[in-house]
Amino acid sequence: MDRTNQKGIIFIPLFFLVPLFIVGAYFGAKFLATSRAKPDPALRGTPTTKVEGTPQVGPFIYRSEPSFGFLAPSSWLNRTSASEIAAFGAPEEDIERVDEKQMYSVQAVITIRATDSYKNLEDFASEVKASGSRLKDYQLINFTGRTLETKYKSSKDGRIKHELDYFFFKDGVSFLVSGIALNSAWDKRGGEIRSSLASFKFK
C-alpha cells in the first residue's frame, strides 16, 4: 500500500470525528450551564412563583346581615367568586420539590363561607375527621373550641396541607374562616394566615 492510500485512510475517520467532538463539547457545556442555573430549595429556602390577580386593598367588608369586616394579608389577591363570601390567595405559589426533576406548586388560600351545617367548630372538626374522601392521614395539631389547627394529606393533589379554621356565630348564622397552605411552607405562611383570621370582626 503506498503513502497516498495511507493518508486517505487516516483522513476519512478524522473527517467524521472532528464534527462529533465539536457538537459534543457544545451540548456538554450547555447542559452544565443549565444544571447550575437550577435553584436548590435546600440552599435558598422555599422558592415561589408569582400569581396574577387583583390585590385586596383595605379590609374586606361583608354588608349583608350579619355584617363583618376582615383583613386579608398584605398583597394577597382577591379570588372571591359568585359562590363564595370571600376568598383570597397568596401572591406567589409555594413550590415543593417532589424529586430531582419535579417540583409541585400550590397557592396558599384563605376562604370565608357561611354554613348552617355545623353547630360549632367541634361539630365541624368531627365531620372533617370522618371524611376520608376529603383528606388522609389527619392530624390534630391544636383545638381551643374557637380555633382548629390540623395537618393532612389532600386526596385531591396528594400534598400535605396545613389548615387553620376559625368559627364565628351570630344571629343564627355561622361563618367558617379557613387558611390553607402547604405544610412545607407553613413557617412562611402561617403567621400571616393566623393574624388575618384573627382580624374577623362582626360590625
Same domain, 124 and 27: no
CATH of the domain at 173: 3.40.1000.10
pLDDT in tens, the chain (203 residues): 444 444 444 444 444 444 433 334 443 433 333 333 344 444 344 567 788 778 998 999 999 999 999 999 989 999 988 878 999 999 999 998 877 777 888 999 999 998 877 777 888 877 766 655 556 788 889 988 789 999 998 877 888 999 999 989 888 888 999 999 999 999 999 999 999 999 999 99
Same domain, 85 and 148: yes
Q: Given this model, what pLDDT does residue 46 score?
A: 54
How many domains in the chain?
2
Same domain, 171 and 192: yes
Same domain, 165 and 78: yes
Q: Can you read off the three cell numbers belonging to residue 59? A: 379590609
Same domain, 55 and 9: no
Q: Given this model, what pLDDT does residue 27 score?
A: 38
Locate all alpha helices (DSSP H) within the chain, ordered by sequence: 3-37, 41-44, 121-130, 186-198
Same domain, 117 and 92: yes
Instruction: Give the C-alpha separation, 164 to 177, whole Å.
Output: 8
Same domain, 126 and 180: yes
Instruction: Give the C-alpha separation, 134 to 155, whole Å.
Output: 6
Same domain, 64 and 108: yes
Q: Given this model, what pLDDT does residue 85 score?
A: 93
Same domain, 125 and 156: yes
Q: Which residues pair with 166 in a beta bridge?
A: 147, 177
Same domain, 84 and 174: yes
CA dihedral over 17, 21, 22, 27, signed as positive or negative: positive
Domain range spanning residue 124? 41-202
Q: Given this model, what pLDDT does residue 39 score?
A: 43
Same domain, 11 and 47: no
Sheet with 201-202, strands from edge to edge, namely: 60-62, 68-70, 201-202
Q: Given this model, what pLDDT does residue 4 score?
A: 45
